[in-house]
Amino acid sequence: MVNVLVLDNIKEETVKDILKDGFNLDFKGKLKEDELISVVGNYDAILLRSGTKITKPVLEKAKRLKIIGRAGVGVDNIDVEEATRNGIIVMNVPTGNTISACEHTFALILSLLRKIPQADKSMREGRWDRKSFIGQELYGKTIGIIGLGRIGREVAKRAIGFGMKVIGYDPFVSKEYLEKIGVEIVELKKLLENADIITLHVSLTEDTRHLINKETLSLMKKDAVIINVSRGPVVSEKDLFKFLKEGRIKGAALDVYEKEPPEELPFKELENVILTPHLGASTIEAQERVSSEVAKQLRDYFMSNKITNAVNFPVKEISPEIEQFMLLSEKMGRTFVQFEGDLDNIELIYSRGLLEDNRSILTSCFFKGALSKVLDVRVSIVNSMIFTKERNVKWRESIVESEEYKNLLTVKGKNVSISGTTFHNEMRFVEINGYPVSIIPDGIILLFSNKDVPGVIGKVGTLLGEKNINIARMEVGRKIKGGDAITCVKVDSSPDETILSEISKLPFVGWIKKIEL
């Protein structure tokens, strides 16, 4: 059974419906750090929203944890760097909140420009005051969108529907595509100087932290307003408050804050500010969607080793064909280190096409397999390259044309060369040290070099039989009749060093290696 800790009021019925078989679900709501530390060691996976924080002290106690699933986009509440170091995959649901966040953006824009909260308050106080709440139209205004990912693009489409001019800034998106849908791409300075409404839709990075500060605010028009439904620390609240209070910009609407919940909120004294408590994703539809998607991603990972939307992994989605090569690459890593004895001067050779395009993930898998045999810490595909760098392992990648196989992965060291591929969803080692073989890499395998002479199989088989070790399969790879060969013997139980020594002393045997996969 996979033990799953479900936090932060994720939709219980949805998760239960998806994670029915093979999963033990424990719903805890929101937990403080000390509460989480006391229980996290019991779980293989965590599902959560933004309420609970997954910190370094928590992760240090999470010895079983393999995956953290964030039901939403942002992972600010998760120490992703520490999770990566501990080999824990962090997944999110990047599309689940898109429509809700987009619509909340327009709810705030319209509320701000039409003074809806103030008018509502006035009515509740018994007044009929129409003159104080004269607003502005969106039609004909210029909206500046900072960040044109999924949410930013949806905001752009709706702004065009309102008859607005749309300008945008994002150095990481296709200019051609955005111009096709009616967005003029400009530099940040020009956007700030020309927009009537500025809306933020960026991730929190070192480059975007306090992107909105006294310098950028000073570029804005005096009658401009700013909306933040992205990440709180993107805006310097101290600088924004000063500009709003002094009337140097017209207004703001905030859904996110530098610290959540905020300990102090000076904005509440300002009439030209609308505040909501991080409601961008708080719709029935969005919560249902992200709960469903993150539960499916978790199920797929544990049931079929499928990785989707991992934020600390080289690729977002993996094809079934590459899944097979990932496992093959890991097995090659395990075999390599047991054969070679160390990790140094390694060459990973990928055939052009599928393997070339996915070599970063396959290299991670190779070193996961290799390092897991020599380190006493948990090694996974998300942290294997960290350990490789720390240990100054020297390795390189090469790309070649493969004539005999459509997809071929080869690893070379000082003393060993292994090539592998897949046939009809079955992994095979097809060459070892230049000798053609057909080895299914699983279980316990004895590999030895020998002369291709009569009696090899019989004498080795007899020796193993005398020690009550059963042979499951045997394979001989040779280049010419009567020359040198490599023999692979798959056994049902592990022979000790004494047995290996006896085999190595046979007159036709050279070296021998025991490989445990």
On the question of a common fold for 2-94+285-304 and 98-275, the answer reads yes
Query: Could you give the CA distance from residue 448 to residue 480 in angstroms, rounded to a whole number?
Result: 17
Predicted confidence band of residue 96 (pLDDT cuts 50, 70, 90): confident
**Active-site residue identified among 278, 289, 299, 359:** 278
pLDDT tens, residue by residue, 479-509: 888 899 999 999 999 999 899 999 989 989 9
Query: Could you give the CA distance from residue 402 to residue 354 in angstroms, rounded to a whole number?
Result: 12
Query: Is the confidence at residue 307, as pLDDT, over 90?
Result: no
pLDDT tens, residue by residue, 428-486: 999 999 999 999 999 999 999 989 888 888 889 888 999 899 999 998 999 888 899 99
What's the Cα-to-Cα distance from 327 to each of 78, 146, 365, 409, rounded to whole Å?
28, 41, 7, 12
- In words, the CATH class of domain 98-275 is alpha beta
Query: Could you give the CA distance from residue 513 to residue 495 in angstroms, rounded to a whole number?
Result: 11
Pull the structure tokens for residue 438. 């057909």
Average pLDDT, stretch 200-211?
90
Query: Is the confidence at residue 340, as pLDDT, over 90?
Result: no
260 flagged as catalytic: yes
Query: Could you give the CA distance from residue 442 to residue 497 in angstroms, rounded to a whole number?
Result: 20
Query: Could you give the CA distance from residue 381 to residue 88 in angstroms, rounded to a whole number?
Result: 9
Contact of 71 with 48, CB cutoff 8 Å = yes
Helices (H) and strands (E) in the chain, counts: 18, 22
Interhelix angle 456-466/497-504, rounded to 10 degrees, is 150
Query: Is the confidence at residue 112, as pLDDT, over 90?
Result: yes
- Look at residue 317 in the predicted model and tell me its pLDDT: 67
Give 430's contacts (C-beta < 8 A, 6+ positions apart): 405, 408, 419, 420, 421, 436, 437, 438
**Active-site residue identified among 258, 260, 288, 475:** 260
Predicted confidence band of residue 31 (pLDDT cuts 50, 70, 90): very high
- Look at residue 314 in the predicted model and tell me its pLDDT: 66
DSSP state of 319: -
3.30.1280.10, 3.40.50.720, 3.90.1150.10, 3.20.20.80: CATH of 2-94+285-304: 3.40.50.720
Describe the strand order of the beta sheet including 23-29 as a list of residue ranges. 23-29, 2-7, 45-48, 67-70, 89-91
Average pLDDT, stretch 350-379?
88
Predicted confidence band of residue 378 (pLDDT cuts 50, 70, 90): confident
* Cα Rg of the chain (Å, integer): 30
pLDDT tens, residue by residue, 266-303: 999 999 999 999 999 899 999 999 999 999 999 999 99
**Active-site residue identified among 85, 231, 299, 359:** 231
- Between residues 419 and 318, which one has the greater pLDDT? 419
Query: Could you give the CA distance from residue 446 to residue 506 in angstroms, rounded to a whole number?
Result: 15
278 flagged as catalytic: yes
Average pLDDT, stretch 247-272?
95
Least confident of 88-92, 121-125, 189-193, 341-345: 341-345
Query: Is the confidence at residue 253, as pLDDT, over 70?
Result: yes
Query: Could you give the CA distance from residue 62 to residue 444 in angstroms, rounded to a whole number?
Result: 31
pLDDT tens, residue by residue, 167-197: 999 987 778 878 888 999 999 999 999 999 9
- End-to-end CA, the chain: 23
Return the closest-CA partner of residue 509 out of 475, 484, 492.
484
pTM score > 0.75 for this model? Answer: no
Predicted confidence band of residue 316 (pLDDT cuts 50, 70, 90): low
Burial class (CB in 10 A: 0-12, 13-18, 19+), 133: middle
Query: Is the confidence at residue 318, as pLDDT, over 80?
Result: no
289 flagged as catalytic: no
Sequence ranges of the domains in the chain: 2-94+285-304, 98-275
Predicted confidence band of residue 315 (pLDDT cuts 50, 70, 90): low
Note the maximum CA span of the chain: 106
